[in-house]
Structure 1
Amino acid sequence: MPLMTAPRFDDPDRAFVMLVEARRGLSEREASGLDARLVLILANHIGDIEVLREAIALARQSTPAG
């Protein structure tokens, strides 16, 4: 199953706000921990190693150099 990168939320802005709000009030370390746990939970939900591999590659390409 190829990675789906087109928006799939009925309200993508609401999804983005939820992610931002989840980090509100957390230290940088706590927010990083939240992000890591969220990634692991969602990766497990997907349950497809090839989709995970593709997502990691795409995320690495999107990372700004610096």
Structure 2
Amino acid sequence: MSRPTTTDPEPPPSRKDYKKSHPGTEERQREGRARLWDKPQDQELQEGFRAARVPQRPYVYQAD
């Protein structure tokens, strides 16, 4: 009795193939990143946060 042969399913399309078939993808990704993440930082505010930082104790659950 021979075992039936199974054919491997076709591999999923690669990112390169997707970008070829959808040419505006990279531009939309850049716009989305700029809208959500690339924001100007207030240096004075960041310096205040750094100055107010309290160092963490070695064992946070120990009651002093």
TM-score, normalised with respect to structure 2: 0.30
Higher normalized contact order (CA 8 Å, seq sep 6+, divided by chain length) = 1
TM-score, normalised with respect to structure 1: 0.29
Bigger radius of gyration among the two: 2
Which structure carries more helix by proportion?
Answer: 1
